[in-house]
DNA sequence: GCCGTTTTCGGCCCGACTGTTTTCAGTCG
């Protein structure tokens, strides 16, 4: 797989071309190509071999030739020549917020500044002010931008952004000048990681709302404060943007503010073809306002089905909506049980009975109590004896609860040599076996892949939990050949989990799509360690929806009898 | 550099805010 390599090279070419002041549309062509290659499901090397590169959107004859060169020689002559034109650190200056290609070029060429450190020194000493168009404020902004880069303006996990946005929403809702309020952006699309929070409000008193917003106690720093748009940095270091519009523009503004960027570009192009102009204030014919009060109005004007926010990534959803062939996405109410829950028997805090009661309250037909296996000592991994004790208790509780079935489960460790943490004889005692990697994350791709594949080959294993091991913001996924895991899972009727825990959300949307394309079934598991966390199911459903899943793709949208049948593969 | 049921040439989404200058370029989303 050289998809990442190709897209990295194209992205960097785009940056260098920006510095050179090249045609912006040519630059965008490289960026678009980079993105499309990166999100391509197929291996770019295979597509190149089949001579089908130009069938990829945004890849024409020229870029196809460049991809072939990269795939066959591992290099691209054009790229190597371009790299010589600017020092690597100068290209990195483009990452500084507020500093764009024009200014970087000016600074590099006039002052011969080649590193971010030198840039910082020059800004502090006021030397940048010798340049045309740069005065005190710009210098300050550059210094602030450098600090932001150092701190790492990285994406945060969805759950963290949800918490921050909830605080802002609560604060803004106190403001009686606000008639409507909604979150947009990647948060509304429920991406697994979020860079900034976009909030949209309807108000007739935009100035009052803006003043309250930028002066809120939640705000650390004001980046911009305009009549209809403001940006701040929150106390938790998240950028929050607020936009105020009139009611008649609420739908169009929400559409625009929800994005994604690629979706917006495609959508607006389509509008032009149909003779309309769509912006955040509405859909217009010539200068005449047609609609914009709701998103539905605009979709219907474009003669397409309403596209749920989770799908708006320009991954084919616009074409599908035009043909009225959008997938009937799984909904929270389709989920009939939770297949990954921890009890007091390992590192959870709830009793079997509490879990049963809460799951019943959720309207579930079943819940699997999947405690850790013996090796995972830090998480109260259970000995063989404790397993039998737990089985006895579950049987008793099952007699007490008529409306819900507790499945006897285990989240068993896949040990570093690929073997499982309990003998086969004990595994036979469980209704459900969830296998997962909790150690040896640094092993080679081949080793990790082999461990997961051999777990799939075990006849008692039903589910692979959090298949890539990612912990958003803390730990990168381990190196694994998912294609191999997909094959093994499909051939052995093993499902892959979408772990709903906000730090995990693993598999993610893209891998969920790939799994489905490979004929693999998915499960949703909250990994709850306390009964309140059974509500995390919602986040997992969001991932499933972003991955275009129907309820038919998800094991635990089936009723109990069918799940039991599936478990007895 | 890509793309095409108005086009194989001439388009390519569209608008807000800031800083600097005095009408606009640069940057961002």
CA distance A550 to A280: 31
pLDDT tens for A228-252 read 999 998 988 899 999 999 999 999 9
Pairing of strands A522-525, A495-499: parallel
Q: Is strand B in 7 Å reach of the CB of A103?
A: yes
Model confidence at A152, pLDDT cuts 50, 70, 90, reads low
Residue range A178-195: mean pLDDT, rounded:
93
Residues A330 and A545: beta-carbon distance below 8 Å: yes
Look at residues A541, A440, A457, A553 and name the one whose alpha carbon lies nearest to residue A499: A541
Q: CA A481 → C1' B3, Å?
A: 36
What's chain A's average pLDDT? 92
Round and report the angstrom distance from CA (A503) to C1' (B27): 33
Cβ-based neighbours of A198, under 8 Å, separated by 6 or more = A183, A184, A185, A187, A188, A240, A241, A243, A257, A258
Q: What's the half-sphere exposure (Cβ side, CA atoms, 13 Å) at A197?
A: 26
Amino acid A43: pLDDT: 85
Structural tokens at position A299: 């979709």
**Separation between Cα atoms, residue A191 and residue A209, nearest integer Å:** 28
| Most confident residue range from A87-96, A434-443, A544-553 | A544-553
pLDDT of residue A190: 93
Does A79 contact strand B, using a CB cutoff of 7 Å? no
The 3-state secondary structure of A363-378 reads CCCEEEEEEEECCCHH
pTM of the entire structure? 0.83
Tell whether the model's pLDDT for residue A297 goes beyond 70: yes
- The string over A272-301, giving b where at least 16 C-beta atoms fall within 10 Å of a residue's C-beta and e elsewhere, is eeeebebbbbbbbeeeeeebbbebebbbeb
Largest CA distance in chain A: 82
Which of the four pLDDT bands, split at 50, 70 and 90, describes residue A434? Answer: very high
Residue A173 CA to nucleotide B17 C1', Å? 25
Q: A193 falls in which pLDDT band (50, 70, 90)?
A: confident
Q: How far is the CA of A101 from the C1' of B5 (A)?
A: 39
Q: Which residue has the higher pLDDT, A474 or A404?
A: A404
Chain B positions under 7 Å from a protein CB? 1-3, 6, 11-21, 25-29
Q: Is the pLDDT of residue A378 over 80?
A: no
* Highest mean pLDDT pick, A289-293, A335-339, A418-422, A469-473: A335-339
pLDDT beyond 70 at A153: no
Strand B contacted by A100 CB (< 7 A): yes
Identify the CATH number of the domain defined by range A3-154. 1.10.150.110
The pLDDT value given to residue A462: 98
A268 touches strand B (CB under 7 A): yes
Residue A294 approaches strand B within 7 Å at CB:
no
Show the DSSP H helices in A285-420 as ranges. Answer: 295-301, 317-322, 352-361, 384-400
* Residue that the structure tokens 């509405």 belong to: A282
pLDDT digits (tens, 9 = 90+) for A502-550: 889 999 999 999 999 999 999 999 999 999 999 999 999 999 999 999 9
The tens digit of pLDDT for each residue in A453-490 reads 999 999 999 999 999 998 876 788 898 999 999 999 99
CA of A290 to C1' of B20 (A): 38
Measured CA A138 to C1' B23 distance, in angstroms: 20
Q: What is the CATH number of domain A157-245?
A: 3.30.460.10
Residue pair A14/A30 in contact (Cβ under 8 Å)? The answer is yes
A269 touches strand B (CB under 7 A): yes
- Phi, psi of A316, rounded to the nearest 5 degrees: 105, 0
Q: How confident is the model at residue A3 (pLDDT cuts 50, 70, 90)?
A: confident
Q: For A102-127, how does the pLDDT look when each residue is reduced to its tens digit (9 = 90+)?
A: 999 999 999 999 998 899 999 999 89
pLDDT digits (tens, 9 = 90+) for A60-81: 999 999 999 999 998 999 999 9
In whole angstroms, B7 C1' to A59 CA is 20
**Do strands A239-245 and A219-225 pair parallel, antiparallel, or not at all (unpaired)?**
unpaired
Mean pLDDT of A364-382: 89
* Topology annotation, domain A332-567: TIM Barrel (3.20.20)
Q: Is the CB of A225 under 7 A from strand B?
A: yes
- What does the buried/exposed string (b/e) look like for A356-375 if buried means 16 or more CB atoms within 10 Å of the residue's CB? bbbbeebebbbbbbbbbbbb
* pLDDT value of position A185: 94
pLDDT confidence of residue A442: 85
Dist CA A154 CA A238 (whole Å): 10
- Give the residue, A272 or A542, on which the prediction is more confident: A542
Q: Nearest nucleotide, C1' to the C-alpha of A241?
A: B29
3-state DSSP call for residue A229?
A: strand
The sign of the dihedral angle between the CA atoms of A478, A483, A489, A492 is: negative
Which strands, in side-by-side order, build the sheet including A239-245?
Answer: A178-183, A196-203, A239-245, A229-234, A219-225
Cβ of residue A138 near strand B, that is under 7 Å?
yes
Task: Tell whether the model's pLDDT for residue A1 goes beyond 90.
Answer: no
Q: Which CATH superfamily is domain A250-322 in?
A: DNA polymerase, thumb domain (3.30.210.10)
Q: Structural domain boundaries of chain A?
A: 3-154, 157-245, 250-322, 332-567
Say how far A56 CA is from B6 C1', in Å. 25
Per CA to C1' distance, which residue is closest to B12? A25
A137 contact to strand B (CB, 7 A limit): yes
**A526 closest CA partner among A508, A509, A505:** A505
């Amino acid at each position: 797989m050289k998809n990442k390599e190709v897209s990295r090279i194209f992205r960097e070419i785009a940056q260098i071309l920006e510095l050179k002041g090249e045609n912006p549309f040519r630059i965008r062509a490289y960026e678009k190509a980079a993105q499309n290659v990166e999100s391509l499901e197929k291996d770019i090397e295979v597509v190149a071999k089949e001579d089908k590169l130009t069938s990829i959107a945004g890849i024409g004859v020229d870029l196809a030739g460049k991809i072939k060169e990269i795939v066959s020689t591992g290099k691209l002559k054009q790229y190597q020549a371009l790299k010589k034109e600017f020092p690597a650190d100068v290209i990195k200056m483009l990452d500084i917020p507020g500093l764009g290609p024009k200014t970087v070029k000016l600074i590099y060429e006039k002052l011969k500044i080649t590193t971010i450190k030198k840039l910082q020194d020059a800004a502090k000493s006021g030397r940048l002010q010798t340049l045309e168009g740069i005065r005190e404020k710009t210098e300050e902004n550059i210094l602030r931008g450098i600090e932001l880069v150092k701190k790492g303006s990285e994406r945060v996990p969805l759950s963290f952004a949800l918490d921050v946005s909830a605080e802002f929403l609560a604060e803004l809702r106190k403001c009686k000048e606000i008639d409507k309020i909604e979150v947009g952006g990647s948060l509304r699309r429920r991406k697994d990681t979020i860079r900034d929070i976009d909030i949209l409000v309807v108000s007739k008193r935009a100035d009052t709302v803006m003043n309250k917003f930028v002066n809120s106690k939640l705000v650390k720093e004001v980046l911009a404060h305009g009549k209809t748009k403001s940006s701040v940095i929150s106390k938790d270091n998240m950028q929050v943007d607020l936009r105020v519009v009139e009611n008649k523009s609420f739908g169009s503004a929400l559409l625009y503010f929800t994005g994604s960027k690629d979706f917006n570009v495609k959508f607006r192009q389509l509008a032009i073809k149909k003779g309309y102009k769509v912006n955040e204030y509405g859909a217009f014919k010539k200068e005449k306002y047609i609609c914009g009060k709701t998103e539905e109005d605009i979709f219907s004007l474009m003669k397409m089905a309403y596209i749920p926010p989770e799908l708006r990534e320009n991954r084919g959803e616009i074409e599908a909506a035009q043909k009225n062939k959008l997938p009937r996405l799984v909904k929270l109410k389709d989920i009939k049980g939770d297949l990954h829950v921890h009890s007091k028997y390992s590192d959870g805090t709830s009793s079997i009975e509490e879990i049963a009661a809460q799951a019943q309250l959720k309207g579930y037909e079943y819940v699997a109590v999947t405690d850790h296996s013996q090796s995972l000592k830090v998480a109260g991994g259970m000995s063989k004896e404790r397993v039998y004790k737990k089985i006895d208790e579950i049987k008793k509780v099952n007699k007490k609860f008529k409306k819900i079935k507790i499945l006897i489960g285990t989240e068993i460790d896949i040990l570093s040599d690929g073997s499982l943490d309990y003998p086969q004889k004990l595994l036979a005692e469980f209704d459900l076996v969830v296998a997962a990697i909790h150690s040896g994350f640094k092993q080679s791709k081949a080793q990790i892949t082999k461990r997961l594949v051999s777990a799939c080959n075990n006849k008692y294993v039903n589910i692979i939990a959090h298949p890539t091991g990612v912990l958003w913001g803390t730990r990168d996924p381990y190196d694994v050949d998912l294609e191999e895991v997909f094959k093994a899972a499909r051939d052995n009727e093993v499902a892959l989990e979408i772990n709903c825990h906000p730090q995990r959300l693993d598999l993610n949307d893209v891998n969920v799509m790939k799994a489905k394309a490979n004929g693999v079934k998915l499960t949703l598991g909250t990994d709850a360690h306390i009964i309140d966390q059974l509500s995390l199911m919602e986040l997992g459903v969001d991932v499933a929806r972003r991955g275009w899943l129907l309820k038919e793709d998800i094991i635990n949208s089936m009723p109990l009898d069918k799940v039991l049948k599936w478990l007895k593969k």
